[in-house]
Amino acid sequence: MLFVDGISIFLACADHLRSGFWIFRQPKAAQIEDGLRLKLKGIHMTHRIRIRSAIKSCIASLFFAASTAGAQASFPAKPVTLVVPYGAGSTTDLYARILAEGLTSELKQAVVVENRPGAGGTVGIGQALRAEPDGHTLMLVTSSSIAINGSLYTSLPFDPAKDVSVIAVLNTTPNALIVPASAKETNFAQFAQRIQSGKHFYFSQGSGTSQHLSNVLLGRVLKADLEHVPYRGQEGIAGMLGGQTEFGFASLPSILTLAKGGKLRILAVSGSKPVPSMPDIPTLASLGYKDFAAGEVWYGVGVSAATPATVKEQLSAALDKVAEKPEIRAKLNQAGFEPVAPMTAAQRQAFVDQQVEFWGRLVRESGAKVD
């Protein structure tokens, strides 16, 4: 009898909850209490207390499950913006547009790329963080915007390590050590021997970029006297080809066409493994310079840390699926981006922490600072 009465009370309360769920901000709890009192009349006091406690627990569980399901079902409720904190036509912009194409298909909502360049990526990241943290504003994140800028900039309106949640690390590309095609050295050993004596000049895409910091690391491991000549963006490559500097690092996608066209020579690459499309180009790590194993440029997606956990998980799963799509992977491979195996949230955080430490140490070693 007690069991039957308990079930009947539970169903009555569930009925109350279901009918009043969407107006739960009204005094619905009081109505449910009234219903409980009516149903419990005539039941022994001891049993009444037990039943009341059980029913309240069930109601709480039902409310939580219903609210969670409702939130998940409603996302995404509108087009999604992918903020790219670099200019149109940049390597990062190219990457973002390929990714947005696949994500549009996966989310069944338009994913619009919005370029917001400036201050090494901090302008775009700051704008994305000011948007409503509901998952409809994503940001393209990289080694620079997350792992470098926190140490490079003396004053940021946000903390990349705390205010941004990296929900996917999808691809990497190495920094390639390049020289003009006219250079005498045809391999890294010859190059190293030459620059270990005298003073030599290298280009970078700007102070504090991963390419600048890779040159800093190179100077340290070779004990070479190197002079930094910073340029804006890809102008440094033209400067090297024009004889203004001797060598430098560049992201692989940015120099693939020039390398294939015989304009410049790749001597080695950063990262832990060779580029599949260029198996004859050694990694610096394989040549004995182990610190370069962590020096790849990585690309991923972030959201505001205040975004609901369920939305982060949904986006992370969708992005992993996009990265596995054969047509997306083929486009990224062709552009010089290598895939990263899917990571758990814990693995992703450990990777980001390691990258913050690696690049932060090089920023401090270089003495680079931006106000």
Residue-wise pLDDT for 317-331, tens only, equals: 999 999 999 999 999
Measured CA angle at 359 (ends 356, 362), to 5 deg: 140
Tell whether omega for the bond before 76 is within 30 degrees of 0, i.e. cis. Answer: yes
Same domain, yes or no: 163 and 203 = no
Q: Which residue has the higher pLDDT, 356 or 69?
A: 356
Same domain, yes or no: 195 and 264 = yes
Same domain, yes or no: 215 and 301 = no
65-104 tens-digit pLDDT: 444 444 445 899 999 999 999 999 888 999 999 999 999 9
What percentage of the chain has pLDDT greater than the value 70?
80
**Would you say the C-alpha torsion 306, 312, 316, 319 has a positive or negative sign?**
negative
What pLDDT sits at residue 13? 40
What pLDDT sits at residue 48? 52
- Asked if residue 280 is part of any domain, the answer here is yes
Same domain, yes or no: 248 and 205 = yes
- Asked if residue 11 is part of any domain, the answer here is no
Same domain, yes or no: 111 and 246 = no
Q: How many structural domains are present in the chain?
A: 2
- Asked if residue 73 is part of any domain, the answer here is no
**pTM (two decimals):** 0.79
- Asked if residue 53 is part of any domain, the answer here is no
Cα–chain center distance at 189 = 35
What pLDDT sits at residue 180? 98
Q: Which residue has the higher pLDDT, 371 or 95?
A: 95
- Asked if residue 52 is part of any domain, the answer here is no
What pLDDT sits at residue 243? 96
For residue 147, pLDDT beyond 60:
yes
Same domain, yes or no: 306 and 288 = no
What pLDDT sits at residue 42? 55
Same domain, yes or no: 269 and 194 = yes
Contacts of 303 (CB under 8 A, 6+ apart): 128, 133, 135, 137, 138, 139, 164, 165, 167, 311, 312, 315
What pLDDT sits at residue 11? 40
Q: What is the mean pLDDT of residues 345-353?
A: 96
Q: Which residue has the higher pLDDT, 120 or 305?
A: 305
Q: Which of 273, 292, 311 is the last residue of a domain?
A: 292
What pLDDT sits at residue 337? 93
Same domain, yes or no: 103 and 182 = no
Domain CATH for 111: 3.40.190.150
Q: Which of 265, 292, 319 is the last residue of a domain?
A: 292
Q: What is the mean pLDDT of residues 193-207?
A: 96
- Asked if residue 355 is part of any domain, the answer here is yes
Domain CATH for 246: 3.40.190.10
- Asked if residue 162 is part of any domain, the answer here is yes
Domain that includes residue 243, residue range: 174-292
The pLDDT mean for the chain works out to: 86
At residue 234 the predicted structure's pLDDT band, cuts being 50, 70 and 90, is confident
Q: Which of 292, 321, 352 is the last residue of a domain?
A: 292
What pLDDT sits at residue 56? 53
- Residue carrying structure tokens 């769920």: 21
Same domain, yes or no: 154 and 191 = no
At residue 236 the predicted structure's pLDDT band, cuts being 50, 70 and 90, is very high
CA distance 350 to 40: 54
Same domain, yes or no: 268 and 323 = no
Same domain, yes or no: 284 and 308 = no
Distances from the Cα of 242 to the Cα of 179, 245, 249, 263, 306, angstroms: 11, 8, 16, 11, 48
What percentage of the chain has pLDDT greater than the value 90?
75
Q: What is the mean pLDDT of residues 230-237?
A: 91
CA distance 114 to 195: 42
For residue 24, pLDDT beyond 90:
no
Strand 80-84: give its sheet, edge to edge.
111-115, 80-84, 137-142, 297-304, 164-173, 338-339
Where does 278-344 have alpha helices with state H?
Answer: 309-324, 326-334
What pLDDT sits at residue 308? 97
For residue 110, pLDDT beyond 70:
yes
What pLDDT sits at residue 37? 52
Please report which helix (H) or strand (E) contains residue 359, including its range.
Answer: helix 345-366
**Would you say the C-alpha torsion 299, 301, 306, 308 has a positive or negative sign?**
negative
Contacts of 11 (CB under 8 A, 6+ apart): none
At residue 44 the predicted structure's pLDDT band, cuts being 50, 70 and 90, is low
What pLDDT sits at residue 89? 87
- Asked if residue 315 is part of any domain, the answer here is yes
Same domain, yes or no: 179 and 129 = no
